[in-house]
Chains A and B, each alone.
Chain A
């Protein structure tokens, strides 16, 4: 058992710092995956299947190979066989992953079936359009509602059927969710280079170690240490980078065969077919309560699409069994294999879907009973997490609701639908609670104090946008007793200490705690060196009485007695001090851990044209300690924008006849633009510091901020129009 290090003053944590890499980003100097300058690079462009299911009967590459500069065209007929060793502990869902160019089977429209490698991008693109692939096509299965489902996952407590039958107030609701795509700004891209049996990958990924490094090592059957992954910048991902998709293997395979480093950048269109998506769902809910709105029964039947070859599941059942006190719950969650690419987590995974249903249903129940929606939620606040029996590490939902109601002006609202008109617009307000089961996982970090008094901290994590580059130095600076400007944080290289996936709202909690541990330890090492050094002013001082400020160690109650790191290391002729720190959650958790929030919004609906426009939105969050309020605002406002997209615009459309995604581009797959985004505001509850969760007291913010947004909008649309819309996105035609 290590001693609890003495508490350092917190000077950087909690302050609104600007991104340390902001200048690099806005001046175009941040090197994203495709930006790395690799000598001798050739360009790979993939050819994708144009049928939704079937067999490849022929690949004619002659016209492509005739093009000047074309080095190779690889496909199942000529590609080397790959070992594809199992990769347990990765993010690959159960099943058999798509094996690129290993057989003639087409499993979904857009599946990579060949790759052209050429000296220039233009030659590769043109040659790719000249590859002729013929198919024996079969009708694909694309209908979530009619295709056969897998055996469902089940959860039950009490006797939900009996309780529902006996409940005085009953709701029976059916919700539908369209498929959504992440659409990060930066396309997925990989540069692969082999040197002997060693593979280097510059890759867009949210998990350099467990995602790309481990997966490519197992695909090629080589030791993990033979693969190095470099990913210093990620231009957004929202979950799409949580596993290595087939194109990463295609790049490595192409490099292996041609003996050249190969750069492969997916087109925007290819991102829709090849990098996962939030699955489409149907979600039926029966909710029973007494006349005061106390929930008695909840019965939920959930269907979600997955691919024919992998079974993707996510935590969609969570909100439906833990959010509100409900004695009797029954849930069934069935995946439906379709001829599609495998889904993956997308911001607020599972919860953005499940909580939407719960929060819309609560609004419907509140209206049914004539109870204020906030009051209804308060009446159903649970004492503990009823699904696990564990106490919450912290649950300040009541405060979120109260603060939100006050700041939004909720109680000025006339609860009657269609009660407010502004010209052609019907105006409504709505709210929803938010919840996310944030992750925590073992992480390591390396901390080093240099002879010049600066520090370098490293971990193989990622920064897809939340500001990891900035928040980690804040934690490190306080633990080291340095100013932020003297601490550098590096990430995104598999040679660095391993970290969990950069997703699931676990980076700050997990990596941040490891960073703090490493920095605490190296600070202790310096203090120990000083108190044992007869030449140090701190000689023989109790180490627990020493604190560090601005790089100078001193006796806590006698600031005049001390010396700097630099003086200590110089005198001792030490180039540096270094430590690998770590943190991991206990195997058996004593708490149920969730971030909470409350979202309030005002919308206007054109009475005749069916258009919905969001007028303002407020989110109040119980997310534990906020390391950097400025970055937190970026997260929160970004989450709200994502939620507005989910509510009103985002919809991946599949042509049922062949599985083609019809709107695989940013002109037809709509994400909000500036004009769609009104006044957004985020508030973080004062005094957040969840020490039950992790040593730095954070609960993760990135996911919870999208949860409940669509429900608040849907509920506001009802308040404006009197129309209940139970399908996302809400379209004009639904409101005409």
Chain B
């Protein structure tokens, strides 16, 4: 670990100021400390924001839910409003990491967590994300866990978060506080695809601090759930995952919110699947037909070809689990 200065932010304004000076925010520390130990991250200054008043979950006037950036994963998952309104969020959280990690890690930190690409995490390997211009060892290397969607010739690393997949599906927005005040960014625009700048992972401007994630109101009743497919039953990142939320009315799908994880360089909103579902009567055939387009833009690599089919089946399964029939 490289030496660094530790400071504790007294309030959000001070945190933003420290961030502007290059300070790296730390809350639960479950990602950053690991990466610092591996010398992947070498911040000069670490700004502890865990004392800031960003730990509330509130219901918005329109009927959405606002989860403060410092709410622990375990607390968000257990929250009655989250659990009742958006089970997909609770499920995604509870299928993440381990109980110990969920008790430490925060919602803001979760969406900011960095890829599990082993070449990124190994400082002796080429990685454009870690060391721009050094190349991408994963493209021609072992890439079973890598993205089939949203990659570039510079980077094919997946975004590892589960709850971010639920947020993307539900069209959440990220609330930010910066030197110029507050702003909101749609979740699907917050995390960036690698393109030619894989080191740029998010839309944060210098000093900006995530204050909350807001999930807008959706038509009710909204059924939702999260399916995570992985080699072992717990404590592993997703091979594929699907966040599905459906509003049925009059015997047809009135609203469909679907995103996939484990397959994209960012949580992957499956707009084509959603479109295919709207106005249709739930049936196993519909789920299959809608899921069939889930991987249309996929560009698989040497070791993750199987994810193309697995993604379709994952989406199909979760559409059925949430939407019923069979």
A-side interface residues toward B, CB under 8 Å? 50, 122, 125-126, 129, 424, 608-611, 613, 648-649, 653, 655, 657, 660, 662-663, 665, 667-668, 670, 672-676, 731-733, 736
Contact = CB atoms under 8 A, between A and B. Distances in A.
Contacts of A611: 229, 231
Contacts of B122: 660
Given A608-B313, A609-B317, A657-B141, A732 B234 contact: no
A122 B4 CA distance: 12
Nearest to B124: A50
B322 to A, nearest CB: 15
Contacts of A609: 229, 310, 313-314, 317
Contacts of B142: 653, 655, 662-663
Interface in B65-89: none
B39 A129 contact: yes
Interface of B: 1-3, 39, 116, 118-119, 121-125, 137, 140-142, 145, 229, 231-237, 239, 305-306, 309-310, 313-314, 316-317
B157 to A, nearest CB: 13
A668 B39 contact: no
Nearest to B116: A667
B309 to A, nearest CB: 6
B310 A610 contact: yes
Given A424-B317, A608-B313, A663 B229 contact: no
Nearest to B125: A660
Given A126-B1, A736-B310, A655 B231 contact: no
Contacts of B313: 608-609, 736
8 contacts: A125-B1, A129-B2, A129-B39, A610-B310, A613-B233, A675-B233, A732-B229, A736-B313
A186 to B, nearest CB: 19
A673 B232 contact: yes
Contacts of A665: 118, 121
A507 B302 CA distance: 46
Contact of A732 (B116, B140, B239): B239
A668 B116 contact: yes
Contacts, number: 78
A662 B303 CA distance: 13
B3 A126 contact: yes
A608 B1 contact: no
Contacts of B309: 736
Given A665-B121, A670-B236, A733-B306, 15 more contacts: A608-B317, A611-B231, A648-B232, A655-B141, A655-B142, A657-B141, A660-B125, A662-B141, A663-B118, A667-B116, A670-B232, A673-B233, A675-B233, A676-B232, A733-B310
Judged by DSSP, the binding face of A is: loop
Contact of A675 (B124, B234, B239): B234
A674 B229 CA distance: 17
Contacts of B305: 733
Contacts of B229: 609, 611, 732
Contact of B231 (A424, A648, A660, A674): A648
Nearest to A671: B232
B310 A655 contact: no
Q: Which residue, A125, A655, A675, has most C-beta atoms of chain B within 10 A?
A: A655
A620 to B, nearest CB: 26
Nearest to A677: B233
Contact of A670 (B1, B121, B231, B317): B231
A729 to B, nearest CB: 8
Nearest to B312: A608
Contacts of A126: 1-3
A733 B236 CA distance: 17
A122 B37 CA distance: 10
A610 to B, nearest CB: 7
B231 A122 contact: no
A674 to B, nearest CB: 7
* A-B complex: 5 closest residue pairs judged by Cβ atoms: A733-B306, A675-B233, A50-B124, A675-B234, A662-B142
Nearest to B142: A662
Contacts of A660: 122, 124-125
B304 to A, nearest CB: 9
B317 A736 contact: no
A653 B302 CA distance: 14
Contact of B233 (A668, A676, A732): A676
A655 B39 CA distance: 21
Contacts of B235: 673, 675
A608 B119 CA distance: 31
Contacts of B145: 668
Contacts of B124: 50, 660
Nearest to B119: A662
A676 B234 CA distance: 8
Contacts of B121: 665
A668 B310 contact: no
A608 B123 CA distance: 38
Contacts of B2: 126, 129
A672 B141 contact: no
Contacts of A424: 317
Nearest to A48: B124
Contacts of A733: 305-306, 310
Contacts of B306: 732-733, 736
Nearest to A49: B124
A320 B137 CA distance: 41
A732 B231 contact: yes
B51 to A, nearest CB: 25
Contacts of A674: 234
Contacts of B233: 613, 673, 675-676
B137 A655 contact: yes
A50 B124 CA distance: 6
B150 to A, nearest CB: 21
Contacts of A649: 231-232
Nearest to A672: B232
